[in-house]
Amino acid sequence: MSAQPTPFNRQAARRFLSAVRDLLSSEVRPKVIALLILLAMFALSVNGLNVVNSYIGRDLMTAIVAHDMAGLTKRVTARYLDRRNYLRLRESDQIDNPDQRIAEDIRSFNYSVICAHLSEFDPGGRVVLGRSVDD
């Protein structure tokens, strides 16, 4: 014997409203209203905390990406300028504008690493700062 869900129709709506009317006209009405208000306050509090958490997480990720990008850029630029590597790249004509290419590669690498780490903890964390791993 399988229990099938009852469709919500006019009869079910009338029964529900009748039960609510009976509950609100009983002697426990003040307690019911207080509990409904408390439930609404908890729901609003949870939503507010989710919004705050979203802003904090976004700002934290922005700070981490900026910090990592600055450190990695310094290291890669130092290696690029070391032993006049830039002269060899300019003579080879294989790479157009190597300094811009370095900056773009570092930005892309940072976003990929951060997104990969986020996706380990949050299935929706693949998007960071408006970019995704696929960009």
Over residues 41-97, the pLDDT tens digits come to 999 999 999 888 888 878 887 887 788 888 888 898 888 888 787 777 777 777 778
Average pLDDT over residues 89-114: 80
In the chain, the amino acid numbered 54 is: S
Confidence band (pLDDT; 50, 70, 90) for 116?
Answer: confident
Provide the whole-model pTM: 0.48
Average pLDDT over residues 108-113: 83
CB 132 within 8 A of CB 65: no
Residues constituting the chain = 135
Task: Round the CA-based radius of gyration of the chain to a whole number and report it.
Answer: 29
The pLDDT value recorded for residue 134 is 44
Question: What is the dihedral angle through the alpha carbons of 35, 37, 42, 48, rounded to the nearest 10 degrees?
Answer: 180
